[in-house]
Amino acid sequence: MGQQFRTSSSGQIDRGRILSFTFDGKPYQGYEGDTLASALLANGVRLVGRSFKYHRPRGIQTAGSEEPNAIVELRTGPRKEPNTRATTIELFDGLVANSQNRWPSLSFDIMSINNLFSPLLSAGFYYKTFMWPPSFWTNVYEHVIRRAAGLGKASTEPDPDFYEQCHEHCDVLVVGAGPAGLSAALAAARAEARVILVDEHPRLGGSLNDENYSINGKAGSEWVDEIHAQLEEMDNVRVFTRTTLFGYYDHNVVAAIEKVSDHMPVPHQGHPRQRMWTFYPGRVVIATGATERPLVFGNNDMPGVMLASAARAYVNRYGVKPGRRAVIATNNNDAYRTAIDLHHAGINITAVVDSRIQPDAALVEELESLSIRLLTGSTVGSAEGHQQVSYVQIVTTQGDTLDPERIDCDLVACSGGWNPNVHLHSQSGAKPVYDDSILSFVPGKSRQSEVSVGAANGSFSLQDCLAQGVSAGTQAARQTGFKSRKMAVARADNEGDYAIEALWISPTPYNKNYKQFVDQQNDVKASDVVLASQEGFDSVELLKRYTTQGMATDQGKTSNVNALALLACQRGEPLPEVGITTFRPPYVPVAMGVFAGHTVGYDFMPVRRTAIHDWNTKQGAVFIEAGLWLRARYYPQQPGDTMNDCYIRETEATRNNVAIVDVTSLGKIDIQGPDAAEFLNRLYINNWLKLPVGKVRYGAMLREDGMVFDDGTTSRLEENHFFMTTTTANAASVLAHMEQYHQIEWPELDVVFCSVTEQWTGIAVAGPNSRKLLEQVIDIDISNEAFPFMSVGECMMNNIPARLFRISFSGELAYEINVPADYGEQAWLELLEADEELEVSVYGTEALGTMRIEKGHVAGSELDGRTTAQDLGLEGMANRAKHFIGKHNSERPLLVGEGRLQVVGLKSLEPERNLRIGAHLVDPSVKLETVSQSQGHVTATTYSPQLGCGIALGLLRDGASRHGEQIEAVFPLDDETLKVEVCHPVFIDPEGELVRA
Amino acid sequence: MLRIDCPWCGVRNEDEFSYGGDATVERPTDYASQDDWYHYVYTRQNPAGPHREYWHHVNGCRAWLVVERDTVTHEIFSTAPASPNLPDPDGRTR
Amino acid sequence: MHYSGFSLLKQALTGNRGWTRAWRNLEPRKRYDVVIIGGGGHGLATAYYLAKLHGITDVAVVEKGYIGGGNTGRNTTIVRSNYMLNPNAQFYEHSMKLWEGLSQDLNYNVMFSQRGVLNLIHNDAQRDAFARRGNALRLNGIDAVMHDLDGVRKLMPHLDFSKNTRFPVQGGLAQPRGGTARHDAVAWGYARAADRLGVEIFQKCEVTGIKRKGDQVISVETTRGPIEAGQVGVAVAGNSSRLFDMVGMKLPIESHVLQAFVTEGIKPLVNTVCTFGAGHFYISQSDKGGLVFGGDIDGWNTYAQRGNLPTFNHVVAGGVTMMPCLARLRVLRQWGGVMDMSMDGTPIIGKTPIDNLYLNGGWCYGGFKATPASGWVFAHTIANDKPHALNAEFTLERFREGNIIDEKGVGASPKSH
């Protein structure tokens, strides 16, 4: 064994570095510089995959990222990558690859029986059958189809590698480092523009690596090395290899993927597998070259059939003979170079078959001099063989198909012409246009700051590529503000015309039915295009969608233009009338990890922690998420403590003694200025102008559509200085809302404000002994007379500057103390330790919730964006004589009439059973006209230690007038029903005596 | 990727900003009709083409901006402060 | 011709030469009783039900591009009826029932796959919200199942179930009857079925103007000539504002782009439709094998059918966070559709201030799954000149009156729905 298909000397491989790899478990060897595809060909492996639908044997068709057939599962375990193109995998030592979509083996695949039934499996066949019985689709037909479809198998384990995202600015971005791109980069760089040059290959040079060109009298690769060296010396140039520009987005922003580590078994320690680059160029020079298209003939998908350019690339770049006896089929001059290069590499060229009647005389002469047989006006009608080509049948293009000549060969190198790679141009928003001289699409009018050059611009002559590159690079530098310098254009030593003549499909031998593939990966045949057209799917978009042409992992790179041409033939219209579909990013498939970058897992969204967090953690607190915040939910005291045990204990400790809770997560906004009171007066539904200094007020604000937006307390610290609190959930949106109105609607108000949520730690001190506790640590008089309910004052808490608010969410005598965040934990500890006799304890959000429900305070679950002030029982606060945000729309007829969901209290009528959040409220004595009998739902529930039963808040239709009714809370998800009594939402201390004590 | 030229912060990526909708709608006076208030809150011209719109530099200087942008090509024609009363953006860094 | 396994066999034996056009290729006539503007799923379904259920067959559907080329062919193909609010729940459930017999009704396999829809739950607030929604569904006669962690594991075995993770999975709310359908087939199936009942479909026929006489529309101007109409139904979601600008009306709608993505095809990996609760991300796998996923709208007015990077990155980051094995799978295509984002997140289907002009739009994210019911109620509304009970609340007037149907509770902020 061992690389029997190597040439004697050619190629850019390092024959001194032998690499071992396996394919389908069998060991092989290749060289440094090989791709998996070239190494397989070197070892005589021709069959590498099975097709999508018919499971036909497939080989290696191209030498680049356009490969439709040679796709494999690369690597194993959690690093497995299905559908990887063998033609783009750089060989490394220890590489493991396996064929896919076959069973039990690649050479014997049971599903290839589909090939026999192909007339049944024509385009769109699945739309016409599998309809009966209806239940069979999901459970039987689809089940089978899904398992037959798909390609490779994904790993189900987490990816062990990581990905990075980087940004870079430049004046000129050059995409593609072939002759045009290198020239452009050098020209722009010499003008001192900041230049970025990207190329998807490990080595610069583009097509110059694949061809036997010479420039300025030197081998093309030598010229490439020279230019590369010059670029490397300039500090205004960055060169990215193994980097594919995949997306052209708005405002001239483009994105690329750099394959940092894919050419090694595993990434180096600390290195990403791949990196996403977002580039911000002043101007983009697109020098992405062109892609050859195959000829459409019978069995053109067979292993051994290859693009003519790919055959050259394997010989010239990789030192591999893709076959021993080759037929070259073409409709243009370009493929003659394949014949010549392959001949010089020692491959027997059994014939060049040219569909044109009169090929280029010089080329004819050259073939003659090499004794290569030339057949003109002919083409390959079919390839024949078992799992690989063993001979072809030649037909004349005039339609003489009854006497095909048989020519033995193991390689058919074919060229149907070249398509400029207009993908990025199209992604940028521009429309490619058809160019009849090359029978393909070329860039149209630019929509963003980009220009295409060289083969990407439809210019296939090397000299044109070099010249256009220099010119575009020079101009791009000038357009981005640099003084251009004249630069000589390199001289291409060998030139020739392209001279293509249309041959979109070959006649078949004996006019027999052959499978002539257009889209090889998706198994779309020429007959499918005909059928789609016949059935009315005769626009490019419908054709694509009906036949799936161009939708495979190769994105139709080799099939699009052929399909359009065949459709044009069907419609009897010129090709440009048929049009072209839009190219969408990414240009090549890109791993999801690249787009995700590092913002996954814990970095997907930040976690916000309060100053008390560490202490809470040490106490074994159980946390709950509140937006991004982590808040202590309850504090287990001993093993086996349930949440209920804890919150009941914490509630009782608060109601009977004193306890503290961390309320830092509430939004806090500092508001200052002569018009601060007026500003608040417009934001809130209630009055603010006459709030005295040193007082706190509860306020509610609406959205402009009249629904309640947020609530909280705001304090007047000084005449022109207020301090607002918001709900945890709305902290950011309230600030943005205030900025919007201040900057856009009321710029005349002299007020400034900013968020101070992070600057203050908030601790609520609640319970009948709260004053007693605070008196130990606070330096101001907080007696009921000096500091009544709804007071605010600045003070010192021991040695900590603090603000004290006499407000209560629990319904108890309570305070809230704010200290600078850095003192948060210290203040917390000092409160706990201030009075040993008092046995100050802590409570979490669960107990906080219990007490707020008992007190009937509305919160986030009632302020759900669909409730009005009236619905929430807050309408009494509103001053409708003044103007405030949302006033007008809150007065719309259906928002103030009957039938609204309004806040109520609910009591469980069944002992030992609590209400559940999300239960719906149903009145069995009433039959509604709607299907759903729901009259509302439960928003917040708890067991009330105070009342000794389960209580809840809820939103109930016309609830404010239904206190005393007995209805049901139903939870059909769990088949539960609970009898409840509707009551006033304030369960305890309705007069508010406790808070004023 | 929209690149928005904040008068204070220079050209920044769209993900620093939050969209604030049509800037041609005018908030009615406090004494305007219900109909005016309905249109202000709910109806939009929603043109295909040039569009004056608000953007909030929410992860930046927090200024509200008026941006003229084409809703088909996404080209931005101008960017200006929404408020006449914010500090002068002169001396901004670019 | 009738489609069946038998016809497929018969045609296969005769070289597939006998298949006829799925719908006719005609020239527009001078006048139709009803002109439907918009040859997407909604417009075609409307035409089909007008002909089938209301006996109105003198119907033209005019489409500016190719049929199904708008949002019908750009969505992530999810079908579900798990809406919380009654008007939505009843409407989408009617749609679900139509989906359940659609392939047979149309004689076209739309590949409606009831593989279930699973909404993941990551915290208590979500559990509470989903409990409310799930119970609302059951009370509306719609299937809903609350799964615990084990239940989720069975449906989606490859999620990140590790304990030490940013968003641990706690459970999920599932609608087992939800699933996916083949989006293009829906447009083609309705087109073919409508055509067989006499409806005439015109592609590359863009409406350039609407002619009025008083409170009546008399004709539509198109790139293929003027067409007189007794009644005109507009079903052009994404472009509703542009159409109504032709009659001088502003709508409670903004146009936004919603992106969608598909990976390379792989063997079955995701067997239900799953949504991530902590970031906006939803995923399913097409029958061809590609993982189809999406997230939030880009969040600013646009008519360009393409998306940008920040949303793309964020959506994928959510996906990889939810399901870490996705990282090595490759995205094959990124595209965008232009949504009619209405001011309360709910569609508008009904009459307009112009007597014989009807609006079907404001679909936000809900358009594809609504297709059958949308056409069904729109046909009813046009045929009877008054809405069906199922779309009685989806009026334009609701914004003025205050009957807001806001599933998310975010108010008049189209980018937030």
Model confidence over A428-453: pLDDT tens digits?
Answer: 999 999 999 999 999 999 999 999 99
Mutation pick from C137, C159, C266, C413 vs chain A, by most beta carbons of A within 10 Å, is C266
Q: Shortest Cα distance from C40 to chain B (angstroms)?
A: 20
Residues present in chain C in total: 417
CA distance A956 to chain C (A): 14
Q: pLDDT, tens digit, for every residue of A638-649?
A: 999 999 999 999
Mean pLDDT of chain C: 97
What residue type is B23 in one-letter code? A
Query: Does the beta-carbon distance from A747 to B85 stay under 8 Å?
Result: yes
Q: Give phi and psi for A102, each to the nearest 5.
A: -145, 150
The answer to whether residue A904 is domain-embedded is yes
Which chain C residue is nearest to residue A973, measuring alpha carbons?
A: C135
CA distance C290 to chain B (A): 26
Question: Is A763 a domain residue?
Answer: no
**A161: pLDDT strictly greater than 50:** yes
A284 lies in the same domain as A305: no
A93 occurs within a structural domain = no
Q: Which residues of C touch B41 (CB under 8 A)?
A: 343, 399, 412
Quick check: A770 pLDDT over 80?
yes
Alpha carbons A813 and A807: distance in angstroms, whole number: 8
Distances (CA, A) of C336 to A758, A787, C298, C312: 39, 60, 10, 11
pLDDT higher than threshold 60 for residue A585: yes
Q: At what angle do helices A526-534 and A540-547 cross, to 10 degrees?
A: 120
Residue A744 confidence (pLDDT) above 90: yes
Q: Give the pair of three-digit tokens for residue C308.
A: 């940008």
Check residue C412 and report its DSSP letter: S
**Cα distance between residue A533 and residue A570, in whole Å:** 7
- Give per-residue pLDDT as tens, C87-110: 999 999 999 999 999 999 999 999
- pLDDT value of position C9: 93
Three-state secondary structure call for residue A653: helix
Contact between A761 and A664 (Cβ < 8 Å): yes
Task: Name the one residue in this structure whose structure tokens are 């304990």.
Answer: C163
Whether B89 shows a pLDDT value over 80: the answer reads no
Tell me the residue type at C56. I
- Return all residues near A355 (Cβ < 8 A) that are at least 6 apart: A329, A330, A331, A377, A378, A379, A397, A501, A503
* Residues of chain C numbered 292-351 and touching chain B (CB < 8 Å): 299-304, 308-310, 343
Tell whether A425 and A413 lie within a shared domain: no
Give pLDDT, residue B33: 95
Residue A103 domain flag: no
Closest chain C residue by Cα to residue B68: C301
Nearest to A40, CA basis, from A67, A16, A9, A66: A67
pLDDT higher than threshold 90 for residue A503: yes
Q: Which residues pair with A413 in a beta bridge?
A: A306, A328
Angle (nearest 5°) at CA C152 between C151 and C156: 130
A793 falls within a domain: no
Query: CB of A169 within 8 Å of any CB in chain B?
Result: no
| Residue A1 pLDDT greater than 70, yes or no | no
Residue closest to A237 by CA, chosen among A187, A188, A201, A194: A194
Overall domain count for chain A: 4
Using an 8 Å Cβ cutoff, are A605 and C279 in contact?
yes
Q: How many CB pairs under 8 A join A and B?
A: 55
The shortest C-alpha distance from A736 to chain B (Å) reads: 8
Q: What percent of chain C has pLDDT over 70?
A: 100
Q: CA nearest A251 in C: which residue?
A: C308
Q: Which of residues 4-63 of B touch C (CB under 8 A)?
A: 13-15, 18-19, 21-22, 34-35, 38-39, 41-48, 51, 53
Tell which C residues from 162 to 181 touch B, by Cβ distance under 8 Å: none
**CB spacing of A747 vs B41 below 8 angstroms:** no
Question: Is residue A610 less than 8 Å (CB to CB) from chain C?
Answer: no
Contact flag B47-C250 (C-beta cutoff 8 Å) = no
Say if the Cβ atoms of C253 and B45 lie within 8 Å.
no
My answer on whether A183 and A240 are in the same domain is yes
Cα gap A201→A241, rounded to integer Å:
6
Superfamily for domain range C117-176+258-342: D-Amino Acid Oxidase, subunit A, domain 2 (3.30.9.10)
Instruction: Confirm or reject contact between B71 and chain C (CB < 8 A).
Output: yes
Domain boundary among A389, A418, A447: A418
Distance of alpha carbon A241 from alpha carbon C92, whole angstroms: 52
Q: Which chains touch C (3 or more CB pairs under 8 A)?
A: A, B
How far, in Å, CA of B4 to CA of B10, rounded?
A: 8
Of the candidates C251, C252, C301, the beta carbon closest to that of B51 is on C301
The confidence score (pLDDT) of residue A485 equals 82
Calpha distance C172→C121 (Å, rounded) = 5
CB spacing of A889 vs B41 below 8 angstroms = yes
Judge contact between A699 and A687, C-beta under 8 A.
Answer: no
Task: Write out chain C residues lying below 8 Å of A555, CB-based.
Answer: 332-333
HEC string of A138-185? Answer: HHHHHHHHHHHCCCECCCCCCCCCCEEEEEEEEEEEEECCCHHHHHHH
pLDDT of residue B94: 36
**A249, A744, A883 ranked by CB distance to B54: nearest:** A744
Q: CA-to-CA distance for C217 and C247, rounded, in angstroms?
A: 9
B48/C242 CB distance under 8 A: yes
Q: Which residues of B touch A748 (CB under 8 A)?
A: 85
Q: Write the pLDDT tens digit of every residue in C103-129.
A: 999 999 999 999 999 999 999 999 999
Architecture field, domain C28-81+83-108+183-253+344-416 = 3-Layer(bba) Sandwich (3.50)
Measured CA to CA, the distance from residue A444 to residue A186 in angstroms comes to 25
The reply to whether A746 touches chain B by the CB within 8 Å rule is no
**A543 to chain C, minimum CA–CA distance in Å?**
11
What residues of A are in contact with residue C104 (Cβ under 8 Å)?
131-132, 134
Please judge whether A743 and B1 are an interchain contact, meaning their C-beta atoms are less than 8 angstroms apart. no
* pLDDT at position A315 over 50: yes
Identify whether residues A172 and A271 lie together within a single domain. Answer: yes
Strands in B64-70's sheet, in edge-to-edge order, are: B18-22, B50-56, B64-70, B76-81
Closest CA to C181 of C87, C333, C75, C104: C75
Q: What is the mean pLDDT of residues A187-201?
A: 98
pLDDT of residue A402: 83
Q: SS3 of A968, please?
A: strand
| Alpha-carbon gap: B87 to the closest alpha carbon of chain C (Å) | 27
pLDDT of the residue at B91: 54
- Lowest-pLDDT range, A815-829, C156-170, C216-230, C244-258? C156-170
Quick check: B47 and C343 CB within 8 A? Answer: no
Question: Between B and C, how many residue pairs show a Cβ–Cβ distance under 8 A?
Answer: 76
Residue A307 pairs with which residues in a beta bridge?
A414
A394, A438: one domain: no
Rounded (10°) angle between helices A336-344 and A308-316? 30
Interface of A with C in 29-88 (CB under 8 A): 52, 78-83
Q: Would A341 be classed as within a structural domain?
A: yes
Q: Mean pLDDT over residues A812-821, rounded?
A: 98
Instruction: Return the pLDDT at B92.
Output: 46
Q: Which amino acid is at C46?
A: T
Residue A861's nearest CA partner among A699, A739, A985, A725 is: A985
Q: Are A468 and A555 found together in one domain?
A: no
**Chain B residues in contact with A247 (beta carbon < 8 A):** none
Residue limits of CATH 3.30.9.10 in chain C: 117-176+258-342
pLDDT of the residue at B93 = 40
Give all chains having 3 or more CB-to-CB distances under 8 Å with chain B: A, C
Q: Which structural domains are found in chain B, ordered by start?
A: 3-25+38-81 (3.30.2270.10)
Q: What is the pLDDT of residue C277?
A: 84
Q: Is C255 in Cβ contact with B71 (below 8 Å)?
A: yes
Contacts of residue A302, defined as CB under 8 A and 6 or more positions apart, other chains included, come to: A56, A57, A59, A383, A385, A387, A388, A389
Which pLDDT does position A580 carry in this prediction? 85
Indicate whether A331 belongs to any domain.
yes
Which chain B residue is nearest to residue C256, measuring alpha carbons?
B71
With beta carbons under 8 A apart, name residues in chain C contacting A623.
Answer: none
The answer to whether A552 and A522 have CB atoms below 8 angstroms apart is yes
Which one of C147, C267, C303 makes the best mutation probe of the A interface by having the most chain A beta carbons within 10 Å?
C267
CATH code, domain with A570: 1.10.10
Query: d(Cα A862, Cα C27) in Å, to the nearest integer?
Result: 58
**Which residue does chain A place closest to C330, by CA atoms?**
A591
- The answer to whether C253 faces chain B, any CB pair under 8 Å, is yes
Q: Do C330 and A553 touch (CB under 8 A)?
A: yes
Q: Which residues of B touch A (CB under 8 A)?
A: 1-3, 18, 20, 27-28, 30, 32, 34, 37-38, 40-41, 54, 56, 58, 62-64, 73-74, 76, 81-86
Q: Does A853 touch chain C (CB under 8 A)?
A: no
Does the beta-carbon distance from A704 to B2 stay under 8 Å? no
What is the domain range of residue A535? 515-577
Question: Which contiguous run of DSSP H or E holds residue A607?
Answer: none
C248 touches chain B (CB under 8 A): no
Candidates C16, C104, C134; nearest CB to A119: C16
Does A556 map to a domain?
Answer: yes
Report the DSSP beta bridge partners of residue A697: A714
Closest residue, chain C, to A918 (C-alpha)? C132
Q: What is chain B's Cα-based Rg?
A: 15
Which structure tokens are listed for C18? 């006998």
Q: By mean pLDDT, which of A70-79, A557-566, C160-169 is the weakest?
A: C160-169
Q: For residues A589 and C331, is the Cβ–Cβ distance under 8 A? A: yes
